[in-house]
A and B are shown apart, each in its own frame.
Chain A
């Protein structure tokens, strides 16, 4: 079983739409959770950490459900500049496990 699984998409949404990405992880001992953004042929960059209480950064909201081992990312009022691949990342001990990424294209 993979450590981290996420829906690869692609998601094609119009500007202004709300879109949600989901991710599950297999190791209940995992201690930290993140969403990274990766633009085409570039390195991943941290979008936000994910906390059990949920956290929000502008149009982005991340949630963690430890009981279900489930992580989500919600993007409201999508912009063209949000087009990218979103990676779910789980930290277990000294290692980081990446999902395969979910591709988002925001259409004018």
Chain B
């Protein structure tokens, strides 16, 4: 099992460019999440998908869109990148069970917007 994979690992964009961050998991988890991590801010939730076919906004959704393509894949799109979106982006997956919900994270995408 590869667990959670993310592509690309690194990306540099110019302001106004668009791109899609890809995430896939092979653990048959129902829920998938996109976070961003900035220095001193911890991980903040951008969007999540509790199950295939559903998506919901998190704490910081502005400037992003998501697609839950199927149970395995959850992509994050930046339509018009801004320098404020320079961050490390982590995708995670989990099956919500009573009493135990371990999140598994991908290795992250380091994005710089110039």
| A71 at interface by CB-CB < 8 Å | no
Q: Which chain A residue shows the least CB distance to B91?
A: A43
Smallest CB separation, B97 vs chain A (Å):
9
In the complex, what distance in Å separates the CA atom of A42 from the CA atom of B88?
A: 10
With A94-B96, A96-B45 as contacts: A32 and B103 at CB distance below 8 Å = no
In the complex, what distance in Å separates the CA atom of A44 from the CA atom of B92?
A: 10
Chain A residue total in the interface (Cβ 8 A): 23
Chain B residue total in the interface (Cβ 8 A): 27
- Chain A residues lying within 8 Å of B99, measured Cβ to Cβ, are 31-32
In the complex, what distance in Å separates the CA atom of A100 from the CA atom of B75?
A: 25
| B40 at interface by CB-CB < 8 Å | yes
- The dominant DSSP class at the A interface is strand
- The dominant DSSP class at the B interface is strand
Contact status B108-A43, CB under 8 Å: yes
| B63 at interface by CB-CB < 8 Å | no
In the complex, what distance in Å separates the CA atom of A91 from the CA atom of B101?
A: 8
- Chain A residues lying within 8 Å of B92, measured Cβ to Cβ, are 96
| A81 at interface by CB-CB < 8 Å | no
Of A42, A87, A94, the contact of B43 (CB 8 Å cutoff): A87
Smallest CB separation, A40 vs chain B (Å):
11
| B107 at interface by CB-CB < 8 Å | yes
Contact status B102-A34, CB under 8 Å: yes
Contact status B40-A94, CB under 8 Å: no
Interface positions of B from 57 to 114, Cβ below 8 Å from A:
58, 88, 90, 92, 94, 96, 99-103, 105-108
In the complex, what distance in Å separates the CA atom of A53 from the CA atom of B44?
A: 29
- Chain B residues lying within 8 Å of A31, measured Cβ to Cβ, are 99
- Chain B residues lying within 8 Å of A101, measured Cβ to Cβ, are 42
With A32-B101, A42-B107 as contacts: A98 and B42 at CB distance below 8 Å = yes
A–B pairs, 12, beta carbons within 8 Å? A31-B99, A42-B107, A44-B90, A45-B105, A46-B103, A49-B100, A87-B43, A94-B50, A95-B45, A95-B48, A96-B103, A100-B40
Q: Which residues of A contact B (CB under 8 A)?
A: 4, 8, 31-32, 34, 41-46, 49, 87, 89, 91, 94-101
